[in-house]
Every structure is written in C-alpha cells, then in structure tokens.
Amino acid sequence: MTSATPATPALYGLLAQFDDADQLVRAAQRSRAAGYQRIDAYSPFPVDGLPEALGLTRTPLSWIVLLGGLIGGLAGFGLQYYVAVIAVPLNVGGKPLNSWPSFIPITFETTILGAALAGVIGLLLLNRLPMPYHSLFNVNNFVRASQDGFFLCIETSDPQFDMQKTREFLRSLQPREVYDVPR
C-alpha cells in the first residue's frame, strides 16, 4: 500500500488586510506600479481614489441602460401604433389613426421600464451575480470587509504572480496580516 500525501489546495490568491482606507489606496497604487494587474480591493464603504488606484475603467452599463430605454420606448410606441392603426383602426371624432400625441405617456413609461430592466439585468450580468460563493469567503477575517476591514487581493491568475515574491511584496506594504486564499 502506498500512503497518499494530502494535496495542498489550489490558491485563489493572496489577501492583505490593512488598518485604514489610506493604506489600502497606497497599497493598490504600489501594486499597480509593481505591475500587478489582477488585483481587487474590498472595504466597508466607497473609498475615494481607490477605483483609479486599481486601474478600473468605466463599465458599459450606461450604454446598456440607454439601449434598453430606446428599445422600451420604440416597443411601447410600436405596440400602440400597431393596435390603433393596423389591428383595430377606429376613427374617433375624425382624428387621424396615428394620433401620436396620445401615445406619448405610454411611450414614456415603457422607455423608463425598458431602461430600468436593462439596468438591473446588465448590473447582474456585469457583476456575475448572483454569486453565492467566492473563494475569499474561505478567509475567516474577510467578514471584516463589511464592517471595518480593508483588504487587497492579488489573484494567482495575474501573469506576474509568484507565490514567494508576491507574499514578500504584500508584506512590504505593511499590512496587518497576509492570508492565503484557498479556492
């Protein structure tokens, strides 16, 4: 019989915990300057300057909402036009069949409905939600991220990630603690 040695779990990345938001922003800036690309930060509230320090770009959500609004408005107007002009053409008081001023309230409401639905669906898809599990939940202290903790994670999928060098780099940022994040 051969004895099997327990395999070490694959890592998602390394997580550093900081004492305040300023330290987190400085750490994110230094991480980007060091060439790390697959980094993310977690804090209990929005931190001014953190998105820029992480190198985050604008999302296409505003375009998704605009497209949803346009489709909703066109669908609302088109439905009213189809019903009033093609399906059931009723001549009421000698008005034209395509009496577009009467279509404005419904068109406005369907525009808002389309934009809102597109915004919610786009937000869920872009954020890959719902996500009932994430590897960071394996770190016991990560629960502090929603209370008073500030965390910076460098993922193993980063092209520059090297376990020892990245750990030393994170320690050079003077965090409270550096954690391994198992998958």
Over 60: is that where the pLDDT of 8 sits?
no
Which residues are bridge partners to 150 per DSSP? 18
pLDDT at 91: 87
Q: Which of 39, 41, 3 is nearest to 22 (CA)?
A: 41
Residue 93: per-residue pLDDT: 84
Select from 181, 163, 153 the least CA-distant residue to 28.
153
Q: Give the pLDDT confidence score for residue 3 in this predicted structure.
A: 47
Selection from 58, 78, 25, 69 nearest residue 126 by Cα:
58
Q: Is the pLDDT of residue 21 over 90?
A: yes
Give the Cα separation of 92 and 67 in Å (integer): 34
Q: Over 70: is that where the pLDDT of 1 sits?
A: no
Contacts of residue 107, defined as CB under 8 A and 6 or more positions apart, other chains included, come to: 73, 76, 77, 80
What is the pLDDT, as a whole number, of residue 80?
Answer: 95
Separation CA 18–CA 149 (nearest Å):
7
Q: Where are the domains of the chain?
A: 12-43+149-178, 61-126
For 62-121, the pLDDT digits (tens) are 999 999 999 999 999 999 999 999 999 988 888 888 889 999 999 999 999 999 999 999
How does DSSP assign 132-166, residue by residue? S--GGGGSGGGGGGGTT-EEEEEETTSTT--HHHH
